[in-house]
Structure 1
Amino acid sequence: MTDAPPFAVASSASLSGAERRRRLADARLYVCTDARPGEDIAEFASAAFGGGVDIIQVRDKTIEAADEIAALTAVAAAARGHGAMFAVNDRADVAALVGADVFHIGQRDLTPGQARGLLGPDVLIGRSTHAVEQIDAAESDPDVDYFCVGPVWETPTKPGRDAVGIDVLRYAAAMATKPWFAIGGIAAGDRLDAVLAAGAERVVVVRAVTRADDPAAAARELRARLG
């Protein structure tokens, strides 16, 4: 018999659906990270949350489920310590095991309805969108709590995915009633200025925080601009 992996957050630490939705409404800065092999993901998560990150998603297609669960468990503990939330990408089974606050899906993953059927009413479900038709579908889908729009600029984290540009952000800003995030190649400076000018109030970043020498300081700079 093998030892069971450290599956996770105690159920007593789980947030209600209402509290998760309240935090989502207030969220401005969302970070995606890999499992940070060879590094301390708990230390990174604590620094990023301490700098003002609202949600951290572990997205790593190179690791097995047990390693993903271990990484998410560390991020979950940091999230609870900072009044923040953590997200699972793509794997509904993993999301259920770790008691995820947020489950994020792409256009070719589970449908929002399928994810809701598996995870229940209290888990926040987010969807990636890359065109106005997909924004419209996410906005009208009762199982989608938020959506992401992008990539605004081409990015190595999404190889082969064409940039959608700024005009799609303007469309989302004009019509969305749900929380939404701009994503793709965004960093402090001119690019952040451009997405804010287009009407985005929330962003997802990867390298701007995950590859920063000081993740807390990088997060703090972004969060100060986002309000």
Structure 2
Amino acid sequence: MTVMMSLASRLRASRLYLCTDARERQGDLADFLGAAFAGGVDVVQIRQKNMAPEAELAALEVARSVAGARGIVCVNDSPRVAKAFAADMLHLGQTDGSARRARRSLHEWALIGRSTHTPDQADEALADPDVNYFAVGPVHATPTKPDYVPVGLDLVRHAARTAPVADPASKPWFAIGGLDAGNLDQVIEAGARRVVVVRAITQAPDPEAAARVLKDRLRQAWADDPELAAYGLRSAALDT
């Protein structure tokens, strides 16, 4: 369990969220994550379907060791694995059961996220007291979610209206789905200030540099946002 600045505060300060497999083919999980965190990644989720629980726990321990105080490590889908890992964060899909039930497996400060693909699902996540953040997408087609139809930018705009990033009382949310340096400005213009990426970093020849490009653009979006400045969040954004 991570003990320092509150997990909720660290999540709110997060901008760049990375999903990656355990890098079994490359055999470089620790080095890869070290580069990603050095480049500015705030949250890492290990997501590899059909992975044996023992192997998943081992990968998560590597991630936690590398992350240290630099980032939050998230478990994908499984409250059982999250409990064994004493996870600080668990992310649930739409078919992974209730957040309230999952919370029984977590420590009292742990955070829960929810994937959303429609405005109604986003509204439900926003209203659920056991959900701490939500993701909206996939904005674009992505091989990591081949069965999901891209939702485009309308869902991002909906989240921006219903959960204003500048409102400290609103839940954090992340745009997700085929995002990279080439289309990041599109989701920023639609209102996103936090994103989840996969291939933009996992397939980059230099993961640290790729992460830094994304993080710098997100940092600039926060600095340029007059509503965030009005809430006194501009300097905090520049420091993260």
Q: State TM-score, norm by structure 1.
A: 0.90
After superposition, give the CA deviation of every residue in 1:119-147 in whole Å (9 maximum; x if it has no partner).
14311100000000001000000000000
Output the aligned Cα RMSD: 1.2
Does 1:217 find its partner at 2:209? yes
Greater than 4 Å deviation, 4+ residue runs:
none
**Superposed displacement of residue 197, structure 1:** 0.1
1:52 to 40, 47, 70: 40
1:182 touches 1:195 (CA, 8 Å); kept in 2? yes
Does 1:23 find its partner at 2:15? no
Does 1:116 find its partner at 2:106? no
1:15 touches 1:101 (CA, 8 Å); kept in 2? no
Count how many residue pairs are aligned between Structure 1 and Structure 2.
212
Does 1:73 find its partner at 2:52? no
> 2 CA distance for matches of 1:106 and 1:43?
28
**Superposed displacement of residue 98, structure 1:** 1.6
After superposition, give the CA deviation of every residue in 1:49-73 in whole Å (9 maximum; x if it has no partner).
0100000000001320111011100
**Superposed displacement of residue 15, structure 1:** 2.5
**SS state of the match for residue 171, structure 1?**
helix
> 1 CA distance for matches of 2:49 and 2:16?
23
**Superposed displacement of residue 102, structure 1:** 0.9
> 1 CA distance for matches of 2:12 and 2:114?
16
Equivalent in the alignment of 2:83: 96
> 1 CA distance for matches of 2:115 and 2:216?
25
> 1 CA distance for matches of 2:67 and 2:72?
5
After superposition, give the CA deviation of every residue in 1:76-134 in whole Å (9 maximum; x if it has no partner).
11111x52110000111211222222100000002111111221431110000000000
1:85 touches 1:101 (CA, 8 Å); kept in 2? yes
**AA partner of residue 172 (structure 2):** P
**SS state of the match for residue 200, structure 2?**
helix
**AA partner of residue 40 (structure 1):** D
2:86 touches 2:106 (CA, 8 Å); kept in 1? no
**AA partner of residue 171 (structure 1):** H
> 2 CA distance for matches of 1:120 and 1:95?
10
After superposition, give the CA deviation of every residue in 1:199-224 in whole Å (9 maximum; x if it has no partner).
00000000000111110000000000
Equivalent in the alignment of 1:196: 188
Deviates more, 1:169-178 or 1:95-104: 95-104
5+ residue gaps in structure 2?
A: 164-169, 220-240
Does 1:133 find its partner at 2:120? yes
> 1 CA distance for matches of 2:214 and 2:14?
13
Q: State TM-score, norm by structure 2.
A: 0.86
**Superposed displacement of residue 160, structure 1:** 1.7
> 1 CA distance for matches of 2:86 and 2:28?
21
5+ residue gaps in structure 1?
A: 1-10
Equivalent in the alignment of 1:41: 29
**AA partner of residue 217 (structure 2):** R
